[in-house]
Each structure stands twice: as C-alpha cells, then as structure tokens.
Amino acid sequence: MVNPKTEPDVYIGKFLNNRYLIIDLIGKGGMGRVYLAEDAAKGGKQVALKILMLNLVNQHISQRFGREIFIGAQLGRKSKNIVRVLSYGMTDERTPFYVMEYLQGKNLKQILKVKPLAIEQFLDICYQICLGLQCAHQGISLKGEIYPVVHRDIKPENIFITENSKQKENVKILDFGIAKFLTERSGMTLTDSFIGSLPYCSPEHMEGRKLLDVRSDIYSLGVLMFEMLTAKHPFQTQSNSFGNWYQAHRFQVPPTFVEVDRQLKIPQELQDLVTNCLAKEVSDRPQNIKEIIAVLEQIKQQIEQPNSSSNDIWETLPTVQLVPITSITEKECLQKIWPKNKPVDLIGFPHLLYTSQGLIPTFWAMLPKQEIAQFLSKNHSIEFINKINVYPMILWVTVLYDIQISLIRWLSYFIDLQETRGQKIVKVLAETGYYHLLLFAIEEPTNCPQVVTLTLSAKQRQQLTDWLTTKEDIQSTELVAAEQAKNILKTEYEKIKLEILHNLAVNKPQEQIEIKNWFSKIIDKVLQIFKHYQ
C-alpha cells in the first residue's frame, strides 16, 4: 500500500472508457497499480481498477497481462473466495487495465500484526482459503482443455478479510495468475529472475523447478497457517537474501508450537497438519487441498462436540426446531392428493406447501407401491449440483436406496434461478433446512400414503444461500442457453454417481454385504432408472 498524496499520479481524475472515474491510488506492486474508481454504468458503484505499469507495456507483456485477466475472470466466477474480475479495457495510451470488485476490510498481514487468530477464527478463515485454492487447483477451461492454476504467491498480504451484514468474515484470495505470468517471461528462468515472496516460497519454487504443482501452494499455506496461529514466522534468517531464505526453507526445522509460546492451546491434529504442510519434500505433504479441508472439518467438529451452541463454520442461518414442526407438517402432507395436472407416471417435482407452521419445501414423487415400503427405513443422500458461472441453475437430487435388494431411485429436478419460482424454492430450502418427501404409489395415485423428512447439512444450506447471491452478479450475456446448462449439469451428475453410491454404502456398516457383490448390480440399473426422471 502507498500513500497517494506523496507522489503525483497521471491517472487520478481520469475517466477511462467513458465509464470508470479514477478516484485514488490504493495499492502498488511490481507489475501494476491499483486504483479506487467509480463505475458510471453502475450508478457510481465503487470498483478496484488495476493498470499495467507504463514501463512494462509491450506486446509480449500485454499478452501475459491479458492471460492474468482471463484467469482471474474465470476463477472469480467459480469461487466466492477469489476476488472477482468484472471487466477490462485499454487506456487512451493503449495501456491495458482490468476492473475488480472493491473490497473493504483488512488483509491478514494487518490483522496478524495485532495478535494471532483464535482457533475458531483460524478454522473459519483457513477453510475459506482452502476453498479458494481448491477451486484454482481444479483448473480453468481454455480451448476445451482444463489447466490447473497454482497461485505461487500465497502470503498474508494476498488474503483479504471482509465482513458481511451478519458480521461474518469473508475471505478473498488476491492476485491469481500474476506469479505464473512473471515466471514465464520469454528467455528467463526462475534462477535468472526469481519472482516470489521469499518468506513463503516452497523449496522447489526457490530451486527453479519449472513444473511446480499444487503442493507448492500447500507449503506456502503451511507457512501462512503457522503465522495465523502464532503471529510469528516458522523460520528465522539473518537477512532477507535469497540464499538465507533458501537455506531456511530447504534445511531449517520449524519450531514446535510449544517452543514458540507455551500458552498456546492448539489441537494436536492441527499441529500435525501444519507440520505436514511444511514438509521439505513434496511427497510428504498433503497431496491436495481436499485432504486439508477434511482435517479442518474434523477438528472443527471435535471442538464443537462439547459445546453445541458454538457457531458452525458454514452456519449463518437461524436454528430450526426440527422435531416438533416436522411432526405436525408431516401429518398435513398425508392429507394431500396427487395434482390433476400431473401425469400418473414415475416423475418428481418440488412444491412449496403452505402449512400451519408456514411455508414448507416439499418434493412429490410417484413410485411403485412395493418400492415405497422398501425405502422408508433405508438410507438416502441429498445432492445439489450447479455451474452458476455457466447458468444460474441447480440440479436437486434425492437418492433413495436399499442395499439388500440393490434397489435405487434417483429423484432429480432442475431449479432455474432465473425464474422467481426457482429463487423462492431455493430460499425456503435454505431457510428451513429440511424438506418433506411425499411418496405416492403409482398403483393408487390419489392419496399420499407416506412422508419422509430429509434434512440438509449446514454446508448445503450455506451453499444455496451463496448461489442465490452469486447469480445476481452474472451478466445475462455471459450465460449459455438453459437447455445447454441442463446437459452440462447432467454430465456433472453422471460423474459423481459412483461416489454417491460408495458413500451410501460405507455409511451402513451394519449391512454385512461386500460392495463387490451388489455395487455392480446397482450400476447396471442406474442409467435405466435415471431416464424416468429426466
């Protein structure tokens, strides 16, 4: 950060592209300057605008800057934990720039100057950082191919913390794509012109290995995690030289948390996680962000078990008294009859039902009578599949199965968030936290004989809320057609079916049936059964 009043700036006060009025200089780095601007097309809404430095403007560098814009635009739409790129353009001097969402808050460096994070705050912030990194590591699409993105510059300055109206901390990762752009200059290698923040670089990054993978980011995350918990860096050097930092990262053993501060009370699992992330060899670290997320979730659950009143990482919604309400509304559902405008067939559809307890989300499905009896006491799974950056649509899936007779039903429905009805269904689902599944027998289609109440996880409720918010930021010109979106979601659906079935199986340890004996039977039926609900 710089003080804009200490040096004149040629852009302050300019009106770029007849749209962006430059107000103030708010940041400066090795590659560009970041300004506070007002977007005239959005009623003067504040945005952040990054302009490439004049001394770097040439065809080759501008192309790489354009690639940074492309990466940022894709990732920002995929994850709420990555800063969004909104637009781009050229100044009158033909200098490229791009526009980002304007964030108000503090970066982690500013926060850690005061004190380390409490465990609960650490888990919340670290979880969101991991979600952003996981999104990047899963890759972006370019000419039909998926390319993973390695950040290469994870450090406290690039983690920005904002607060929403509910005083919940939101994490945004900044500067995706910059390190990759700079390390791939024509004619240069990392050893010729090293680019990176020395205190947070992995050993392999400093050694100039050309093929860095996601585990380099995991090392940098380990350094950041240590600092978040202690407000101190895990390594000490005599100077800030490249050689000293390389010796530290490659050979120095980080201190234990007790050695840093005997007063720290950090769960052993969390200490082990940080230590593993800081492993010198890439093969000794967690191999992907998913492994880290799993440990964080486990630690969070262990901490909250003795204190059920503490806030969940994903839970920002009011608590619902499920038992007394559902017992009343289930009885009201049993009085419902199959709509006359719906065919008597193997179909399913959602319906918002007005009850004595208010508006309740329900899903009505018609199945063979014999199957209904089998499913009532068996396992189930709820899935919500989306590609909000492609089209604001959600595929809502309820899976019912009976492992003993290899019977499975996939009840699915597309919810279009462009439509008011779809928005209302998702909003009520998120607020309520459960829905009633009304099962009608195809042989006796009039009355509802059975009702099952299915509960959403706190994470699913938060996801639904986030998707409703995210769809507001998507321009209609950026979207594919609704039918094309359905095909994309169906493809994603097919990819996760085996994982869903596996999870359902391992969650029933009392069923002493080997997966090999029944899994293939279920898979043989999946495609045939799925056709009834498309």
Positions at the binding site for ATP: 50
124 is catalytic: no
Q: How far apart are alpha carbons 236 and 54 in whole angstroms? A: 37
Residue with tokens 């559809």: 349
According to DSSP, residue 165 is labeled T
Q: How far apart are alpha carbons 14 and 463 in whole angstroms? A: 40
The letter for the amino acid at 401 is Y
Q: How far apart are alpha carbons 194 and 30 in whole angstroms? A: 13
Pairing of strands 96-101, 85-90: antiparallel
Q: How far apart are alpha carbons 158 and 152 in whole angstroms? A: 11
Q: How far apart are alpha carbons 470 and 479 in whole angstroms? A: 13
Q: Among 75, 171, 175, which residue's Cα sits nearest to residue 123?
A: 171
C-alpha distances out from residue 501 to 400, 453, 512, Å: 10, 20, 16
Q: 485-489 long-range contacts, Cβ below 8 Å, gap at least 24?
A: 485/387, 485/390, 485/391, 485/393, 486/393, 486/395, 486/414, 488/387, 488/390, 488/391, 489/385, 489/386, 489/387, 489/393, 489/395, 489/414
Active-site residue, from 39, 153, 175, 402: 153
Q: Among 455, 458, 433, which residue's Cα sits nearest to residue 315?
A: 458
The DSSP element (H or E) to which 125 belongs, if any, is: helix 119-138
Supply the DSSP string of 296-330, one letter for each residue: HHHHHHHHHTT-TTSPPSS--SPP--HHHHHHHHH
For residue 501, the cross-strand partners are none
Q: Are 76 and 123 in contact (CB under 8 A)?
A: no
According to DSSP, residue 278 is labeled T
Q: Are 126 and 118 in contact (CB under 8 A)?
A: no
Q: How far apart are alpha carbons 416 and 64 in whole angstroms? A: 37
Token pair recorded at residue 463: 């996801």
Cβ-in-10-Å burial (0-12, 13-18, 19+) of 478 comes to: exposed
Catalytic residue numbers read: 153
